[in-house]
Amino acid sequence: MSRILKVLIFIVGIFVFFEVGLFASYSVISSDGVNVDEIISTQIDEVNDFIGSLTGKKTLSEQETLNVTNDDKVALILNNMTNLSVNLGSVTAKVSSGDDGNQTVTLTAIATKDTQITSGGAILIVPEQTYSITATATGEVYSSGKVEIDTTTIALKEKMVLYNQNSTNTAGGSIDNLVQYAQNNTTNNNTTMANNTTKKTRA
């Protein structure tokens, strides 16, 4: 018997011994019967995660965005829902689970509200406002990192203004108003306290 064959038989023996011990311990701990498929599937997943950690491959839930195979249809649906122009290249999809199959997908995209202006006799279409859109949908997620969205399940969750040409920084304006409001309240409170102190002194 060759040396390589002996090594292979030794490895197979260790593997069989390990599996028998695992099934025996599972049957002792669990009151239910041994679910062979579940145990093997769990081991395969753990091996895949270990290999992925060595190769640097990210799981589906860790990827910044999945490859949306029907992004053109998704963008069209978002256009109709928001009455905006969605940037096709900005459509991203993310899942919270590392498993493949049918599951909920979070969609994000950048869209603009366009306006027409006349310049030199020509009509130009320029973005008046820029929006960030967030939606959810059901999608078929593949282990390769691709996802096909069921466009009939798309539900709009948020539409937020990022830029408005009539107000250079919408968010900043809101913060400025909040700061101004706080300062006015502080000034009014200080004035009221000073008046009350004056009245008490006179009394």
- Spans of all domains in the chain: 3-55, 61-173
Give the relative orientation of helices 3-29 and 36-55 as an angle to the nearest 10 degrees. Answer: 120
CA angle (77 as vertex; 72, 82 as ends), nearest 5: 125
154 touches 76 (CB < 8 A): no
Alpha helix (H) ranges present in the chain? 3-29, 36-55, 71-82, 170-202
Q: What is the pLDDT along the chain (203 residues), one digit of tens a residue?
A: 677 887 788 888 887 777 777 666 766 666 666 566 666 666 666 666 665 555 555 677 777 888 999 999 999 999 999 999 999 999 999 998 878 889 999 999 999 887 767 776 677 666 678 999 999 999 999 988 899 999 999 999 999 988 777 664 444 443 344 344 444 545 555 555 555 555 444 55
